[in-house]
């Protein structure tokens, strides 16, 4: 079955760019579906960040759009997230997930990776 | 402040029926499907309900979803200790974004 695994630095300095990758196994991204990122600050709720269609069409959270880029690399069967000018408020567990539609249907999710923004 | 409003907590005893509400607006719940996620302690969210009231394979029929106008509900009957988790509602908003509720922490007493 399809599995997703996030990877990237666990510590990022303020004002720098956060870069995460989601490796997909058990399914070829080029075959279809949407692929998304969400995050969860410690002790808080979920926040959607961005979604990308396998063909490259993107959707962004309006509140984060100016700082976020989502991309897909079908040759590596992975998709990525870049978030610029990070602050302590961006400290969170970041999850990647497969989207059955562009809407809020995410299944399955990766296990998540904690990113801490600190100097 | 989340776009979708959920009660921060809910509780029940084993065997009881518990309901968790999710309130939105015409631009999200009122015009799009609602999804529910279960997040067990220390784990990633898991899809619990899709398209308002459809259960993915493997989700017990103790879980049910409903929607009316701009509100949705998740009901859990025959409450079990393993149901203790955080529950989130989500929906597409016509502003072209996914919105989540703030989450409800369910405690099984």
Q: Dihedral of CA A113/B87/A86/A33: which sign?
A: positive
Q: Are residues B98 and A111, on separate chains, in Cβ contact within 8 Å?
A: no
Rounded to a whole number of angstroms, the distance from the CA of B77 to the nearest CA of chain A is 24
Instruction: Report which of A18, A37, A47, A46 is spatially closest to residue A117, judged by C-alpha positions.
Output: A18
Which segments of chain B have a pLDDT < 50? none
Q: Looking at the partner chain, which of B33, B37, B100 has a beta carbon nearest the beta carbon of A47?
A: B100
pLDDT of residue A75: 94
pLDDT tens digits along B81-98:
999 999 999 999 999 999
> Which residues on B lie below 8 Å from A59 (Cβ)?
96-97
Q: Return the SS3 of B76.
A: strand
pLDDT of residue A17: 98
Rounded to a whole number of angstroms, the distance from the CA of A59 to the nearest CA of chain B is 7
> In a structure prediction context, what are the per-residue pLDDT tens digits for chain A, which is 119 residues long?
999 999 999 999 999 999 999 999 999 999 889 999 999 999 999 999 999 998 889 999 999 999 999 999 999 999 999 999 999 999 999 999 999 887 889 999 999 999 999 99
pLDDT of residue A85: 98
Q: Say yes or no: A58 contacts chain B, CB-CB below 8 A.
A: no
Q: Looking at the partner chain, which of B43, B92, B102 has a beta carbon nearest the beta carbon of A103?
A: B92
CA-based nearest residue in chain A for residue B92? A103
Rounded to a whole number of angstroms, the distance from the CA of A49 to the nearest CA of chain B is 8
CA-based nearest residue in chain B for residue A61? B97
pLDDT of residue A95: 98
Q: Looking at the partner chain, which of B44, B56, B99 has a beta carbon nearest the beta carbon of A110?
A: B44
**d(Cα B106, Cα B16) in Å, to the nearest integer?**
13
pLDDT of residue A32: 86
Residue from A3, A33, A37, A45 whose CB has the most chain B CBs within 10 Å, to mutate: A45
How does strand A113-117 pair with strand A11-12? parallel
Write phi, then psi, for A73 (nearest 5 degrees): -125, 95
pLDDT of residue B1: 82
pLDDT of residue A56: 86
CB under 8 Å to A43, separation ≥6 — which residues?
A: none
């Amino acid at each position: 079955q399809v599995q997703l695994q996030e990877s990237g630095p666990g510590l990022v300095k303020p004002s720098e760019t956060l870069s995460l990758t989601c490796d997909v196994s058990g399914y070829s991204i080029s075959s279809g579906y949407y692929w998304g990122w969400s995050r969860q600050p410690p002790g808080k709720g979920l926040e959607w960040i961005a979604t990308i269609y396998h063909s490259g069409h993107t959707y962004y959270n309006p509140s984060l759009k100016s700082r976020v880029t989502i991309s897909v690399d079908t040759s590596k069967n992975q998709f990525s997230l870049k978030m610029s000018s990070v602050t302590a408020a961006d400290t969170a567990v970041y999850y990647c997930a497969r989207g059955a539609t562009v809407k809020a249907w995410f299944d399955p999710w990766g296990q998540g990776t904690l990113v801490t923004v600190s100097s | 402040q989340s776009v979708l409003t959920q009660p921060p907590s809910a509780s029940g005893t084993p065997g009881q029926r518990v309901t968790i509400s999710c309130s939105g607006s015409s631009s999200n719940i009122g015009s799009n499907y609602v999804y529910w996620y279960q997040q067990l302690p220390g784990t990633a969210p898991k899809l619990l309900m899709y398209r308002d009231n459809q259960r993915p394979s493997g989700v017990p029929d103790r879980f049910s979803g409903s929607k009316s106008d701009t509100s949705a509900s998740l009901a859990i009957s025959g409450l079990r200790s393993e149901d203790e988790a955080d529950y989130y509602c989500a929906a597409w908003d016509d502003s072209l974004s996914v919105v989540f509720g703030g989450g409800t922490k369910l405690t099984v007493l």
